[in-house]
Amino acid sequence: MPERLQQEILLNIESKEIRCATLRNGQLHDLTVERKKERQLTGNIYRGRVTNILHNIQSAFIDINEGENGFIHISDIIENTKKFEQLFDLDFDLGYDIKAMDAKQQQNLNIEQVMKIDQPVLVQVVKEPIGSKGARLTSNISIAGRYLVLLPNSSHRGVSRKIEDRNVRERLKKLIRSFEMPKDMGLICRTASKLVSQETLIEEAHELLNTWQQIMENFQKSSDPTMLLAESDLIKRAVITCIDKRYDRLMVDDYNTYQVCKRLYSRYSSEHPLRIEFYRDKVPMFERFNVEREIERSLKRKIWLPSGGYLYFDRTEAMHTIDVNSGRSSGGDSDLEEALVRINLEAAEEIARQLKLRNIGGLIICDFIDMRMRKNQRRVLERLKEHMKEDSAKCTILGMSEFGLVEMTRQRNRGSLLQTIFTNCPYCIGSGMVKSYETTSIEIERALKKVIKCQQQFALKLVIHPQVYHYMHHHDRDYLIKLAEEMNANLIWESDDNLHLNDYAFFSTINNKKIEV
């Protein structure tokens, strides 16, 4: 009988940051880092204001008072406007009557017919703002409870696909169809609803309707872009995840947060016996459980595998690439093909884990070591798919090409770990490279000729970075002094460690003014 998997969540609370680590048998399996100034917006509902209309892509930018403007498409706006005009008799002063339009006419609508600058709209964030991109918005509002999801703009009533038992599905379908609520509003039963009583579900349905009513009252009262409902925070999500996935323990290193977790759990304690513990040791919790070391490892471009192979992570504007290499793996295996397959299988497991830890999203290309046999390629691809199934982000994996490349996409739901922790280097402006000393020396020679010949400056001081100064002292200094003398100029040298490694400056020694090159 296989050994039972030990699963737990560690919550590390700091003044500016919360880190949530999921451990499986002591190994870091998932990680969420949330900064105070960059709290998660997904699920939040806002009263927004239209700031700009993009006719060519039938979309608009919406100010939601969260930094960059959010982005919404016409297909959402029509649904939202229609619902609001029908339910709340709101007047948007638009050039059409949406209640009198059929579906075909709605499809042919122009964005400028539906939206006006400064128009108020009710929107929900479906995708986090990342970098310079604002949040992606929808008007198909959904208000999630523990067991149910209320759909104010849709009459759909259904049951989560994750509930596979036919009898349970039928019971829940009958139950939500019998609920007394506005007929043009919908309900979805979440996976957790199969475990609770009819009374509990009815009680939550009423709570969700009251929440919606409160949202609409606040929408009508407010005049500026504002948040009307905040989705649950990371701490609440951690508690709910522990219950949903039947984790053994939740450990917290902050006493106030520990008390909050206990209060949140008390409401759902009948669903699953969860141990919630307060971490008291002097050694920091993430250090004690090796999480800190794993985070450091996940920030590196090179990751070693147990067999001696390694992964190399790289990022371009369009995609992330992951290269699998044999590295220092021993070649003692009599079957070379099988040795390469073993490295690739290890790599497939580690790639799935690293994608979650690093929270890499978008297009990803994995370059596995070439294998001759198709059956081995299938083994590696299946191993990758198997481990990616555990990922909460939506993933699509294509087949393996004859070159051993696997194309895949992973849902980008928030900024990556690198984007959260790092900022672009002011030296290399994010390129990861600076000019060599020789290149800088060549540029200085060109600039020196220009300053003397074009600007007629003959008394010069050159200021450079100390490392470049050291290099030129041993290589090009004498040559440049001689070059200046041949053009009847005098050149002296100085170093300044405040300069960028690739920067330099010429000054006149007569008036000490900087000479623009």
- The Cα–Cα gap between 99 and 83 comes to 9
| Selection from 333-342, 390-399, 424-433 with the highest mean pLDDT | 390-399
Is the pLDDT score of 196 beyond 90? no
* Nearest in space to 355 (alpha carbons), one of 416, 404, 312: 416
- The H-assigned helical ranges of 309-410 are 336-358, 374-388
- For residue 93, what pLDDT band results from cuts at 50, 70 and 90? very low
- pLDDT above 70 (res 44): yes
Query: Is beta strand 59-63 parallel, antiparallel or unpaired with respect to 70-73?
Result: antiparallel
Question: Does residue 94 register a pLDDT over 80?
Answer: no
Range name among 83-92, 210-219, 268-277 with the lowest pLDDT average: 83-92
Q: Is the pLDDT of residue 79 over 60?
A: no
Buried b / exposed e over 88-119, threshold 16 CB at 10 Å, is eeeeeeeeeebeeeeeeebeebebeebbeeeb
For residue 212, give the nearest of 240, 178, 186 by alpha carbon: 186
pLDDT at 333 over 60: no
pLDDT (mean) for 507-517? 91
pLDDT digits (tens, 9 = 90+) for 285-332: 999 999 999 999 999 999 999 988 999 999 888 899 999 998 876 655
Tell me the average pLDDT across 129-139: 80
Report the amino acid identity of residue 26: G
The mean-pLDDT minimum among 102-106, 164-168, 302-306, 414-418 falls in 102-106
- 384 has pLDDT over 70: yes
Give me the pLDDT at residue 1, please: 46
| pLDDT > 60? residue 82 | no
- Whole-angstrom distance, CA of residue 71 vs CA of residue 316: 24
Distances in whole angstroms, Cα of residue 69 to Cα of each of 35, 44, 132, 134, 206: 20, 15, 10, 5, 33
Q: Which two three-digit tokens encode residue 110? A: 């122009």
Tokens of 515: 């000479």
3-state helix, strand, coil in the chain (%, to 5): 35, 25, 40
Average pLDDT on 70-74 reads 83
Please state the rounded mean pLDDT for residues 2-10: 82
Distance of CA 79 to the CA centre of its chain: 28
Mean pLDDT for the stretch of residues 140-169: 84
Please report, as a single letter, which amino acid is at residue 498: N
**Which domains are present in the chain?**
7-39+233-291 (3.30.420.140), 301-421 (3.40.630), 437-515 (3.30.2320)
- pLDDT at position 130 over 50: yes
What is the spatial distance between Cα 278 and Cα 257, in angstroms, rounded to a whole number? 9
35-39, 64-68, 337-341, 506-510 — most confident range: 506-510
Asked if residue 497 has pLDDT above 70, the reply is: yes
Instruction: Return mean pLDDT, the chain.
Output: 85
Separation of alpha carbons 426 and 227, rounded Å:
35
The reported pLDDT for the residue numbered 334 is 57
Beta-carbon count within 10 A of 463 CB: 18
Q: Which of 92-106, 149-163, 472-486 has the lowest mean pLDDT?
A: 92-106
pLDDT at 101 exceeding the cut of 60: no
Q: Which residue has the higher pLDDT, 301 or 127?
A: 301
DSSP H or E run through 419: helix 417-421
CA distances, 473 to each of 66, 477, 500 (Å): 53, 5, 18
231 or 268: which carries more pLDDT confidence? 268
CB distance 153 to 83 below 8 Å: yes
Asked if residue 171 has pLDDT above 50, the reply is yes
Q: In the predicted model, what is the mean pLDDT of residues 369-393?
A: 91
Locate all alpha helices (DSSP H) within 125-249, ordered by sequence: 166-177, 198-221, 234-244
What is the DSSP-derived secondary structure letter of residue 133?
B
Choice between 116 and 10, residue whose per-residue pLDDT is larger? 10
